[in-house]
Structure 1
């Protein structure tokens, strides 16, 4: 079997991460709650088939050739490193303090940040922004005296009908791959300046996760959200069904990871934040009835809103997407 075929199904939420939320006694099956339908799926879902697309990370080089697996291979390496660090952190959750090397903390910070930006909810918005930039830049370029002169018949058609009615502006979705990495790098550096706290779910309680596992919000609810890399933003990341990581603004630098107090009220708050941040699906080890009781109106998800109307340009989406 070729390596290309093995790498065809590419995840934006790693399987190694999702397996920490599988049902009791299962290695790859978990329960999925559909936010739009506001109900659990009838059967358990396999981690192999959720949060993924065929060749999701395909790239186009300068020659126009397509590479399906180069970026996927690099991301798999990042996932292995992050997964190993998380395993060690979880194993030390009963200690009074979790020591972690500076290098490992930086690697985990990037892993967490990348988890936020690699999903469709963020890549779609980035693609829209680029489309709008091209749309507004094209008239400027065409009116540039130093630019090659366009044929008179084409110029007349543009002046009569408008650029968007004469020229198709197409933006390939691969354009969002580089900003995806750059945003993760910026956010990762910001996380290293904050306080890291590990909390465990109390007995008879579990944490959930979703198709957007990393949640960000202003630490002070009265303030406007400044984005995931902002100095006043708090980050919530469930590591498993029993352990969650909170990365919060702090004036004091701390190299390790503190152990926070575990209580039922905090577990409920964490799960509600995860639920409301989810885009379409929430994942958990059991069919929790309380998910059905949460209001639909608040379940709009943490999808990045570019504020850009998708008109006057086309996004060329992944042609292998099912």
Structure 2
């Protein structure tokens, strides 16, 4: 959706952090306009228009201090990237058994997944939390350090620029977040090096969520994509679930038939969500499947906590 500023320039207002083009594969109607949505916090299942879910005003459209207007150039970049969900290679991945080692397809999927990971509001919340922690730490110390470490990298700090960093507005932080999202290729490269496999269901069973890139670390502490024990789940469609891991001693680029109803995988996907699961089928059926497959769910829960009972 476009809005018009006082200058008459149109900018994007409604920003979808889970692309509508991606969600249409999980649509509940023949026109692919609606999807089932269910909260893990409160409320009843709802059949919602796809353009009304996973959306926020001006999420990627901060004010530009140079012009005094909102800048939606990054939102336009995302829109171009989302066109890949309409590409024949992506469509084939949803229903056929394409070569998972085919480099063009692998690059496309890796960049889509990496970008969907970074563009999620959860990632922006992490960034804001890190900013607050750093400012609090400097406040306690009473002096600006010459550098700081973040994700294993050392970043220099200049005392002259510290006040601007400390007093950064929401839009300032959002512009920095967008800079990080522009580096999605770095994370995509790491994903390309992982072992890929796809779980295939004979009937549509897999859900997705408002945070579809699901990390399954060996413990409650996430140690990064390159950690040897980290794995990633990403639902491609209701019958396909992409799995990435570092088990290089196992065969790669394989398709495996789903063993079971998909309840265990759906539980992991839903637990990773911000709040909502999205499904092509009524979410009561999804939840009933989870209840029926109690043993598989307990195993999935243990796997997601590193084998520690909860």
Shorter-chain TM range is 0.7 to 0.9
CA deviations over 1:7-33 (Å, ceiling 9, x no partner) = 322111000011111114241101100
Give the drift of 1:71: 0.2
Give the drift of 1:279: 1.2
8 Å CA contact 1:19–1:28 kept in 2: the answer is yes
Q: Distance in 2 between matches of 1:121 and 1:207?
A: 22
Q: Which residue of 1 aligns with 2:282?
A: 287
8 Å CA contact 1:82–1:108 kept in 2: the answer is no
Question: What's the TM-score, normalizing by structure 1?
Answer: 0.71
8 Å CA contact 1:215–1:277 kept in 2: the answer is yes
Q: Distance in 1 between matches of 2:104 and 2:228?
A: 21
Q: Which residue of 2 aligns with 1:115?
A: 116
Corresponding position: 1:48 with 2:51? yes
8 Å CA contact 1:31–1:284 kept in 2: the answer is yes
8 Å CA contact 1:134–1:169 kept in 2: the answer is no
Q: Distance in 2 between matches of 1:280 and 1:136?
A: 31
Higher RCO, 1 or 2 (CA under 8 Å, sep at least 6)? 1
Q: Which residue of 1 aligns with 2:92?
A: 88
Task: Give 5+ residue unaligned stretches, structure 2.
Answer: 146-157, 292-297, 299-310
Give the drift of 1:226: 1.7
Give the drift of 1:62: 5.8
Corresponding position: 1:268 with 2:266? no
Aligned residues: CA RMSD? 3.3
Q: Which residue of 1 aligns with 2:213?
A: 214
Corresponding position: 1:127 with 2:128? yes
8 Å CA contact 1:23–1:31 kept in 2: the answer is yes
8 Å CA contact 2:214–2:268 kept in 1: the answer is yes
Runs of 4+ aligned structure 1 residues displaced above 6 Å come to 1-4
Task: Give 5+ residue unaligned stretches, structure 1.
Answer: 149-162, 299-322
Q: Which residue of 2 aligns with 1:245?
A: 242
SS in 1 for 2:215: strand
For residue 32 of structure 1, the aligned residue among 34, 37, 48 is 37
Q: Which residue of 2 aligns with 1:171?
A: 169
